[in-house]
Amino acid sequence: MLRRHLLAAAAAVATLAAPAFAKAGDAARLGQSAPLVGAGGTTGRQFRDAAQAWFTAAAREGALGGHRLEIVSLDDGGQVERALTNSKLLASAHGAVGLFGFVGAGANREGMQAALEEGLPFVAPVSGMDVLRRRGNAHVYLLRAGHRDEIRQIIRHTASIGIARLGLLYEYDSAGWEIRDSFAEAAQDAKLAHVGASVSRASADVAGALPVLLAREPQAIVLAANPAASAALVRAARQAGYGGSFYTVSTVGGKALFDALGPLAVGISVAQVVPFPWGGSTPIAREFLAFCATAQIEPDFASMEGYVAARWLGEAVRRAKPKELTAATLAAALDRMPPMQLGGFPLAFSPETRSASAFVELTVVGSAMRFIK
């Protein structure tokens, strides 16, 4: 943890025109591929800005053992093909020592595979896919709970308040199928009636999904598609007279729903996988809010996730004290990280999973357009 006040840092890190490889004394580069433009790029930008601000301040404080870390962010527009191309560019043209904070389609199995092919650690992807959490993925370092954990938390809550019929909106791709299967399994275990409907990957066209869901009269609908589709479903359902509740998994992004829905977002419950970033009720929240005030970062769940990821990775580098940061020395530093309490937020890998956290809690969009617990 930084002991002095964090210095202000440039929040936005644009795509860099880098030489083929970093020269001696240059910052070691972490490569990010994510949607970065418009409302769909909110999560990627907030994660990146908070992480880079912490890395910059930590280097100035001497908290990285003399090293500097710089994030190279490439926009993939939420497209798998562009994310894969970006992975190659980050490894070759930008000389990245790790892939860090991938968001969207590239954060899933495709990004994991690209990292393996390039010989790079795949660190803190913003993904809930269970396939990333398998013990054999030795190059993957996840710091968030999976979609399975989030879905089960949502269903435990809905069952506890008497909801008996649930719907699910998901994308028709590998990540969506995994969510669909986890949803069906958890709903069956809770003895809840359930129905699922899909949209095409990256599509916001919910015309086919809406009647499928409403025909079964669900008391609540879980949103697990992309932010644009999830917002479109809420808007269309309300226009059709639907009066039930909405829940979302964390990767939909609360800020994206705020921006797309305005007052229609009020009452939506959002699963979160990092501590509540406002109010200062925990040590990590108080530290984060102080950091945001100094670094001019907007507090949010996505920026909290970037902050947590940066602090954890920075601690690994500080403890390992490598002479130089390469893909191999970074992976070795991460492998040696013991369980730790990050401002009261526990992070610990187990022999069974590549994720250091299973933390999930539900938040609600309040009438003042703010999250409440």
Q: What CATH number did the domain enclosing 262 receive?
A: 3.40.50.2300
Q: Do residues 154 and 267 both lie within one domain?
A: yes
Provide the pLDDT for residue 102: 98
Provide the pLDDT for residue 369: 85
**For residue 55, which of 362, 325, 274, 301 has the smallest C-alpha distance?**
325
Residue 354, domain member (yes or no)? no
- Cβ contact 129:146 at 8 Å: yes
Low-confidence ranges of the chain (pLDDT < 50): 1-24
Q: Do residues 227 and 301 both lie within one domain?
A: no
3-state percent breakdown (helix, strand, coil) of the chain, nearest 5:
45, 20, 40
Provide the pLDDT for residue 21: 37
Residue 188, domain member (yes or no)? yes
Which of 240, 272, 304 marks a domain boundary? 272
Provide the pLDDT for residue 299: 94
Residue 13, domain member (yes or no)? no
Q: Do residues 267 and 156 both lie within one domain?
A: yes
Provide the pLDDT for residue 26: 76
Please give the model's pTM, rounded to 2 decimal places. 0.90
Q: Do residues 122 and 268 both lie within one domain?
A: no
pLDDT in tens, 281-298: 899 999 999 999 999 999
Residue 228, domain member (yes or no)? yes
Residue 367, domain member (yes or no)? no
**Nearest-angstrom CA–CA distance, 361 and 142:** 18
Provide the pLDDT for residue 324: 94
With the C-alpha atoms ordered 291, 294, 300, 305, is the resulting torsion angle positive or negative? Answer: negative
Provide the pLDDT for residue 25: 52
Axis-axis angle for helices 254-261, 301-320 (nearest 10): 160
Q: Do residues 326 and 298 both lie within one domain?
A: yes
Q: Do residues 60 and 205 both lie within one domain?
A: no
Q: Do residues 226 and 316 both lie within one domain?
A: no
pLDDT in tens, 200-237: 988 999 999 999 999 999 999 999 999 899 999 999 99
Residue 10, domain member (yes or no)? no
Residue 108, domain member (yes or no)? yes
**Nearest-angstrom CA–CA distance, 193 and 269:** 20
**Nearest-angstrom CA–CA distance, 354 and 371:** 29
Q: Do residues 188 and 104 both lie within one domain?
A: no
Which of 245, 272, 299 marks a domain boundary? 272
Tally DSSP H helices, then E strands, for the chain.
11, 14
Q: Do residues 139 and 151 both lie within one domain?
A: no
- Cβ contact 39:259 at 8 Å: yes
Q: Do residues 119 and 265 both lie within one domain?
A: no
Which of 272, 307, 336 marks a domain boundary? 272
Residue 370, domain member (yes or no)? no
Q: Give the range of the structural domain holding residue 167, as residue numbers without chain letter.
A: 147-272
* Helix ranges, 173-278 (H): 174-189, 209-215, 227-239, 254-261
**For residue 256, which of 229, 291, 285, 281 has the smallest C-alpha distance?**
229
Number of domains in the chain: 2
The DSSP element (H or E) to which 291 belongs, if any, is helix 283-295
Beta bridge partners of 364: 269, 372
368 contacts: CB under 8 Å, gap ≥ 6? none
Provide the pLDDT for residue 17: 31
Q: Do residues 43 and 117 both lie within one domain?
A: yes
**160: buried, middle or exposed (CB in 10 Å: 19+, 13-18, 0-12)?**
exposed
Q: Do residues 139 and 284 both lie within one domain?
A: yes
